[in-house]
Amino acid sequence: MEYRLVGTAVPRKEAGRKVSGTAEYVDDVRLPEMLHGVTVRSTIPRGHIRKISFDGAIPWHEFVIVDARDIPGKNVVSLIYDDQPYLAAERVNHPQEPILLLAHADKHLLERARQNVHIEYEPLPAVFHLEEALAAETVIWGEDNVFKRYTIEKGEVDAMWSEAAFIVEGEYSTGAQEQLYIEPNGMIATFGAEGVTIRGSMQCPFYVQKALMALFGLPAEKVRVIQQETGGAFGGKEEYPSMLAGHAALLALKSGKPVKMVYDREEDMAATTKRHPSKTRHRTAVTSDGRLLAMEVEFSIDGGAYATLSGVVLSRGTIHSCGPYRCDNVRVRSVAVATNAPPHGAFRGFGAPQSLFALERHMDKIARTVGLEPDEFRARNLLRTGDSTATGQVIKDPIDLVRLQSRALDSIGYHEKRRRFPVENARSRRKKGIGFATFFHGAGFTGSGERFLQSVVTLEARAANRVRVLTSMTEMGQGTNTVLAQIAGEALGLCYEQVEVTNPDTAEVPNSGPTVASRTAMVVGKLVENAAREMKAKLPSHDFAALGPLRVTVQYKEPPGIFWDDALYRGEAYGAFSYATYAAEVTVDTLTGEVEVNDFVALQEVGRVLHPVLATGQIEGGVAQGIGMALYEKVVWRDGVMVNNQMTNYVMPTSADIPNIRVYFEEIPYEHGAMGAKGIGELPMDGPVPAVLNAIENAIGIDFDHAPVLPEDVLAKLAKRRVA
Amino acid sequence: MPKRTVSLVVNGRPQHVETHPMSRLLDVLREDLSLTGTKEGCGEGECGACSVLLNGQLVNSCLVPVGQAEGARICTIEGVGQHGLHPVQAAFISEGGAQCGICTPGMIMATIDLLARYPEPALEQIREGLAGNLCRCTGYMRIFSAVQKAAQAGP
Ligand code: FES
Ligand code: FES
């Protein structure tokens, strides 16, 4: 099918504002009489609050002070379980837990005041590690520290061990990772007769609305949430904004004035969510000719002090843990546990980068054990059309993953380099290596999630043949405004400039679900396409003005033939998977331990590419975050506190660290995605970490089973090998 | 510390600001002069979101006490492309160099500085030249293309 707009590189809708500095982010907004707000947080990981005192020469009477007693509704950040309070009343469960809120017009005085609130505690024993939490000798949440468990069972795993030619075991782990959007979290709240109004940096305006309805006991029409331009999010502004918006609103209610709360970098890094640390154990039965007989996986993640989204993150990590491989006998057991750290949360990939890292490291290990090349071993096991995934989802797309994988490897010269590098490495302290990962990522909500969301979008025809797209999908850099306009314009036969995408404001847009899970283009875009086709049928002449204003609203309907069993975790986990092979070439300096990525190929099949420049940019950005997770970004914990909560000591890749990232697409249009599109946003996060670590192993013959790998880790392993 | 009047020329216009000399140039720009195009990403000189030109030199405005900028010429993103899009801005649009946009004003200032020093920069010079400006969205590749395209367009 030929398209006019879709597949072309139209200019990003809001690019003009962004390059001129006029885009309005929350910290750029100033309202009359506005106060600033700060949070007084716990300083211990777990305990009872005994006494709060206000010391020093601070004019406390000038301050608005809010504590848990000021909450008019429910003191819980309403999400999945109602376990997390907005403000701790009596008990704290992590070392950044909010206890008090302060507001004042003078930011500097406010900071002094915050430091002059003293809280005395009676400490309780705390838990900081996954194993400790699982052992449950100290119980800090529920009956056994367990937020959620899942089991996937397919075939007869137990019967296979005796038939296996090889049984390969491995244990892999990943640390926390900070989203590190360059704009920290921020919100402004006002309170008036019309209710509460929130403006801020966020992914999901309707999550914030729902949370504030419970906090204040207000109906939906009294809670208005408006998204400001959002300076990056990556999952880090999925659930946390509900907390911050609530805090700003509590101060606004008590002061009667607008209140702005914008975190500084240190507070944002220490107190807000990060990627869940994980541990994965694999035990795999393989035939003598390198076919997967049985896969047994145990996957666990550390959720921090409250449940938040951990169960959902666990779900995605669990479903992705066996990757795009064919195996008739599978058992996955997974668990998310509580520790006394700030809650971990959504971060691009949502559990899948952790479990796919483990799998793709393990696949290299199996290949080595079996005596096959890593690509040959994978090729013997990759899913083909008609095969089924771990949950029994039958792959219907006409995919050819073996060809996809070999195309990516050819692009980077994989085989030639596997032969050449060992020869060259023998003469140099700088050792080169090459590695790759083949993986998939499911787009949209898991299982029956999209059916429950019941997403709605509206199209509105206006004068002068202009159309407005109304959805709750937020623009946070990924290109929502642009691709939704392309889709609507394409289907209506209008030009790109005639389509306007409305800024999410709960008073104006319908609830199209949250901007998460790589669902915007694929799922919500499809609704926009459907609405546009319906509108076009009503307006054959395109003379909108003559017909007066026209609105078309459509709601999500599940595509036919989708079956998901939530109890057994079986069936169609996702509407569609995107597939990829990523390959990395690295140099390891055996003197300094430094690892440099010299070349990177990212080849993926993502359905129709709606916008080549934006899509390429999404992949490149994800790969860079993945390289960060592989080689640079290490959260250092001390008793539940992130101690390197600054950009100086938590290091993300700079322009000098990133290799040439070469992005290639294959396009197999997906019939239920907008114009054939599948999800793309999270996919690039899954591949870089295993690809880079596999390349390191190829370079120096040492396998690293934990990410990130820092120079000191390389040096330590090299030293250990010398001793041995 | 007492306030005093600090005089600066910002984007070609003389400005007199009543402030503490230790106030950060960043805050004076954003709060006293309402020039909010300059962003704060870290407040510790690491991210470059607050980059401006001070007497033609690229600086992190979060690290400059305004007292030190007395009499200086400051150029912020608001001073770029006052008469239509600057070629660097146009290149950031066409090449996809801006995603969320929060690093973009600083990145554009750094690019203008880079192109003033190297009108035809090699890729390595771009990589090194922009290494003080962090971008979490793009992975930098589209930004490199934007810089190259702007270089071709000339000043
Ligand atoms: S805000 Fe100045 S360098 Fe980050
Ligand atoms: S575009 Fe978002 S940080 Fe650079």
Dump pLDDT digits (tens) for A310-342.
999 999 999 999 999 999 999 999 999 999 999
- Count how many domains chain B has: 2
Of the candidates A493, A489, A445, the residue with the CA atom closest to the CA atom of residue A468: A489
For residues A706 and A460, give the distance between their C-alpha atoms in angstroms, rounded to a whole number: 51
The ipTM is 0.98
- Count how many domains chain A has: 3
* Residue A262 binned pLDDT confidence (cut-offs 50, 70, 90): very high
User: B44 and A655: CB-CB below 8 Å?
Assistant: no
B39 with B73, same domain: the answer is yes
Residues A169, A282 contacting (CB under 8 angstroms): yes
* Residue A143 belongs to a domain: no
B56 with B8, same domain: the answer is yes
> What separation in angstroms does the CA of A342 have from each of A97, A147, A185, A333, A499?
7, 15, 15, 25, 42
List CB contacts of A112: < 8 A, sequence separation 6 or more.
A56, A58
Q: What is the pLDDT of residue A545?
A: 58
A26 touches chain B (CB under 8 A): no
Largest CA distance in chain B: 49
> What separation in angstroms does the CA of B132 have from each of A232, A446, B50?
19, 40, 11
Of the candidates B61, B143, B155, B152, the residue with the CA atom closest to the CA atom of residue B104: B143
Does the beta carbon of B43 sit less than 6 angstroms from any atom of ligand 1?
A: yes
Query: Tokens for B58?
Result: 């690229």
> What separation in angstroms does the CA of B146 have from each of A23, B92, B97, B112?
20, 5, 6, 12
Q: Is the pLDDT of residue A547 over 60?
A: no
User: Where do the H-state alpha helices sit in A156-278?
Assistant: 205-216, 240-255, 265-271
A23 touches chain B (CB under 8 A): yes
B72 with B93, same domain: the answer is no
Distance B139 CA to ligand 2 centre (A): 9
Does the beta carbon of B109 sit less than 6 angstroms from any atom of ligand 1?
A: no
Give how far B81 is from chain A: nearest CA, Å: 8
For A265, the closest chain B residue by CA position comes to B42
pLDDT digits (tens, 9 = 90+) for A592-610: 999 999 999 999 999 999 9
In this structure, chain A runs to a length of 724
State CA A329 to chain mean position distance: 29
* Residue A363 binned pLDDT confidence (cut-offs 50, 70, 90): very high
For residues A91 and A44, give the distance between their C-alpha atoms in angstroms, rounded to a whole number: 11
* Residue A515 binned pLDDT confidence (cut-offs 50, 70, 90): very high
Q: What is the pLDDT of residue A283?
A: 98
For residues B141 and A623, give the distance between their C-alpha atoms in angstroms, rounded to a whole number: 11
pLDDT digits (tens, 9 = 90+) for B36-51: 999 999 999 999 999 9
Q: What is the pLDDT of residue A80?
A: 85
User: B101 and A478: CB-CB below 8 Å?
Assistant: no
User: A624 and B40: CB-CB below 8 Å?
Assistant: no
Q: Which long-range contacts does B65-69 make (Cβ < 8 Å, 24+ apart)?
A: B65/B21, B65/B22, B65/B23, B65/B24, B65/B25, B66/B6, B66/B8, B66/B17, B66/B19, B66/B20, B66/B21, B66/B22, B66/B23, B66/B24, B66/B25, B66/B28, B67/B6, B67/B21, B67/B22, B69/B6, B69/B8, B69/B25
Closest in A28, A614, A621 to B36, CB measured: A28
User: A232 and B136: CB-CB below 8 Å?
Assistant: yes
A51 with A115, same domain: the answer is yes
| CATH code (residue A487) | 3.30.365.10
* Residue A7 belongs to a domain: no
Percent of chain A with pLDDT over 70: 99
Among left, alpha and beta (phi > 0; psi -120 to 50; other), residue A180 is left
A490 with A581, same domain: the answer is no
List the beta bridge partners of residue A432.
A587
H/E segment holding residue A518: none
For residues A623 and A663, give the distance between their C-alpha atoms in angstroms, rounded to a whole number: 10
User: B37 and A22: CB-CB below 8 Å?
Assistant: yes
Domain boundary among B60, B79, B98: B79
Q: What is the DSSP string of A533-576?
A: HHHHHH-TT--HHHH--EEEEEE--PPTT--EETTTTEE---SE
Domain boundary among B50, B79, B108: B79
- State the average pLDDT over residues A197-220: 98
A38 touches chain B (CB under 8 A): no
Find chain B residues with C-beta within 8 A of A235's C-beta.
none
B66 with B105, same domain: the answer is no
State CA A514 to chain mean position distance: 12
Cβ–Cβ contacts within 10 Å for residue A566, how many?
A: 12
Q: What is the pLDDT of residue A490?
A: 97
| CATH code (residue B12) | 3.10.20.30
Give how far B70 is from chain A: nearest CA, Å: 23
User: B102 and A28: CB-CB below 8 Å?
Assistant: no
Domain with A678 in it? 278-446+570-723
- Of A221-225, A554-558, B18-22, give the range with the top mean pLDDT: A221-225
A191 with A213, same domain: the answer is yes
Residues A207, A77 contacting (CB under 8 angstroms): no
Give how far A162 is from chain B: nearest CA, Å: 47
A304 with A329, same domain: the answer is yes
* Residue A639 belongs to a domain: yes
H/E segment holding residue A318: helix A310-320
Which residue, among A655, A660, A663, would best test binding to B if mutated, counting the most B CBs under 10 Å from its CB?
A655
Q: Which ligand is nearest to the CA of A23?
A: 2
B67 with B95, same domain: the answer is no
Which value, in Å, is the radius of gyration of the alpha carbons in chain B? 15
* Residue A246 belongs to a domain: yes
Atom of ligand 2 nearest to the CA of A232: 2
A83 with A187, same domain: the answer is yes
Q: Is the pLDDT of residue A463 over 90?
A: no
Does the beta carbon of B135 sit less than 6 angstroms from any atom of ligand 2?
A: yes
A262 with A399, same domain: the answer is no
A267 with A282, same domain: the answer is no
List CB contacts of B111: < 8 A, sequence separation 6 or more.
B88, B130, B143, B146, B147, B150
Domain boundary among A271, A304, A335: A271
Domain boundary among A220, A240, A271: A271
If you average pLDDT over every residue of chain A, what do you get? 96
Find chain B residues with C-beta within 8 A of A180's C-beta.
136
Tell me the angle at which helices A310-320 and A352-370 cross, rounded to the nearest 10 degrees.
30
Residues B143, B107 contacting (CB under 8 angstroms): yes
For residues A693 and A709, give the distance between their C-alpha atoms in angstroms, rounded to a whole number: 8
Query: Tokens for A525?
Result: 């875009």
Q: What is the pLDDT of residue A465?
A: 83
Helix, strand, or coil here: A107?
helix
B67 with B92, same domain: the answer is no
E runs forming strands in A71-185: 91-92, 98-104, 117-123, 146-154, 166-174
pTM of the model: 0.98
For residues B102 and A181, give the distance between their C-alpha atoms in angstroms, rounded to a whole number: 9
Q: What is the dihedral of CA A201, A203, A206, A212, to 10 degrees?
A: -40
A55 with A108, same domain: the answer is yes
Q: First and final CA of chain A: distance in angstroms?
A: 62
* Residue A317 belongs to a domain: yes
> What separation in angstroms does the CA of B129 have from each of A194, A598, B26, B143?
50, 19, 22, 12
Among left, alpha and beta (phi > 0; psi -120 to 50; other), residue A292 is beta
For B99, the closest chain A residue by CA position comes to A477
Q: Between A and B, how many residue pairs show a Cβ–Cβ distance under 8 A?
A: 167
- State the average pLDDT over residues A496-520: 97
A201 with A337, same domain: the answer is no
Residues A347, A177 contacting (CB under 8 angstroms): yes
Closest in B81, B100, B141 to A620, CB measured: B141
Distance A231 CA to ligand 1 centre (A): 14
A542 with A602, same domain: the answer is no
Does the beta carbon of B60 sit less than 6 angstroms from any atom of ligand 1?
A: yes
Helix, strand, or coil here: A281?
strand
DSSP annotation of B6 reads E
> What separation in angstroms does the CA of A303 have from each of A337, A344, A446, A657, B62?
6, 5, 19, 31, 35
Give how far A645 is from chain B: nearest CA, Å: 11
* Residue A464 binned pLDDT confidence (cut-offs 50, 70, 90): confident
Helix, strand, or coil here: A587?
strand
Query: Tokens for A506?
Result: 């709960």
Query: Of the ranges A558-572, A686-700, B86-100, B129-143, which one carries the lowest mean pLDDT score?
Result: A558-572
* Residue A548 binned pLDDT confidence (cut-offs 50, 70, 90): low
B8 with B75, same domain: the answer is yes
B43 with B62, same domain: the answer is yes
Distance B39 CA to ligand 1 centre (A): 8
For A183, the closest chain B residue by CA position comes to B41
Of the candidates B150, B26, B11, the residue with the CA atom closest to the CA atom of residue B78: B11
Find chain B residues with C-beta within 8 A of A661's C-beta.
139, 141
Does the beta carbon of B106 sit less than 6 angstroms from any atom of ligand 1?
A: no
Supply angle C-alpha A668, A457, A460, rounded to 5.
115
Q: What is the pLDDT of residue B1?
A: 64
DSSP annotation of A11 reads P
Domain with B67 in it? 4-79
- State the average pLDDT over residues A416-437: 98
Query: Tokens for A471?
Result: 């959805």
Q: Give me the numbers of helices (H) and strands (E) for chain B, helices first please.
A: 5, 5
A283 with A397, same domain: the answer is yes
E runs forming strands in B20-151: 51-54, 57-60, 73-75
B9 with B75, same domain: the answer is yes
A504 with A576, same domain: the answer is no
* Residue A470 belongs to a domain: yes
* Residue A414 belongs to a domain: yes
Does the beta carbon of A232 sit less than 6 angstroms from any atom of ligand 2?
A: yes
Domain boundary among B79, B95, B129: B79
Q: Is the pLDDT of residue A653 over 80?
A: yes
Q: What is the pLDDT of residue A549?
A: 76
Distance B83 CA to ligand 1 centre (A): 28
B55 with B99, same domain: the answer is no
* Residue B155 binned pLDDT confidence (cut-offs 50, 70, 90): low
B61 with B94, same domain: the answer is no
Of the candidates A180, A185, A211, the residue with the CA atom closest to the CA atom of residue A199: A185
| CATH code (residue B144) | 1.10.150.120
B72 with B10, same domain: the answer is yes
**Phi/psi at A555 (5° precision):** -125, 150
